[in-house]
Amino acid sequence: MPKNRLFLISLATLMVVLGTIVFAPFVVSNGLRLWLHWQARRQQLNIELGKISAPVLRPVSIERIRVTSKPGSATQIELNAEQAVIHPSLAKILAGRGDGIRTLSIKTGRAEIRRDYSESARVARFNWTALQALLPANFDIGHIDLRVENGPTVVLLRNASISGNQIESGRFSSGEFTITSPLLRQSFSQLRGATKWQEDRLTIGGMNLARGLDLQSITIDLSRLDKQRADLQFDLDVLGGKIRASISNEWPGQHTRWNVAGTASGISLAQTSEALGFTDPLGGSLRACNFTFRGDPRDPLGGTASV
């Protein structure tokens, strides 16, 4: 009897292991597909997925991902990714905790974001807490093109690649970065820099924009997305002078608030306005100054500013 019992236990264990090996890829791939569709509906987005492969004890690969916003939304989004590889922690994802995605790798990506300020546009409720929980601990995007339209301002990033790692330095490169707005129009090419990604903060440093124009560092802070807030700090050397600034944006409900504070020293306004592509040339110089702005840039008269 003991031998038969041991044999039955061993046989049952073997069947469980074999069943796990056989059915786990099917369960994980279909479970992930259902979960992604559920998350998209929560964010009022549409998602299309290609083939999902989930080998046992290996990363999940998704052949194609396409995410779009619903018609009539105030923020129109179109995201496309090819050959995505994900190292998920399903327990953390389901619990809504951070670092739910340990590593995200995308071979090719394209993103277009356009803000519609017309009265007919519908402001969609977005779960920023869920988005922050999905920020990966490490990421690598081999090629990405980005277009952002915010009213009259258009930002383009072409032929770019970026990686971020919690331990090692990553890299950033871009064939072209262009910004067009009523205040300035400028394009920079062949950009290179090193990155640091830690605690949902991305820092890019050591980037030469043009002759005499060096971006010592720029930090994008996404650690408070769940509070509907994002921050940016930069340190820019301009033709022998310096500009340092901190910018925060909060968007509770349908309102948006900007807080800008910075310093400038040793600035030739004529040379700086030309280097940055200001539409209206400036003259004179700044030995040292502080500047602030609080309010909504779309309604500058309703805000407060000081120099």
pLDDT of residue 14: 45
Q: Which domain holds residue 126?
A: 1-151
pLDDT of residue 41: 81
In a domain, 3, yes or no: yes
In a domain, 176, yes or no: no
In a domain, 186, yes or no: no
- For 4, counting Cβ atoms within 10 Å of its Cβ (0-12 exposed, 13-18 middle, 19+ buried), the class is exposed
In a domain, 5, yes or no: yes
In a domain, 275, yes or no: no
Q: How many domains does the structure of the chain reveal?
A: 1
In a domain, 216, yes or no: no
Instruction: List, for the chain, all residue ranges whose pLDDT scores fall below the cut of 50.
Output: 1, 7-8, 11-12, 14-23
pLDDT of residue 75: 79
pLDDT of residue 99: 64
pLDDT of residue 232: 94
Contact 253, 274 (CB under 8 A): no
pLDDT of residue 111: 94
In a domain, 60, yes or no: yes
Which residues touch 128 (CB under 8 Å, ≥6 apart)? 225, 226, 227, 228
pLDDT of residue 11: 44
In a domain, 287, yes or no: no
Q: How far apart are the first and last CA of the chain?
A: 90
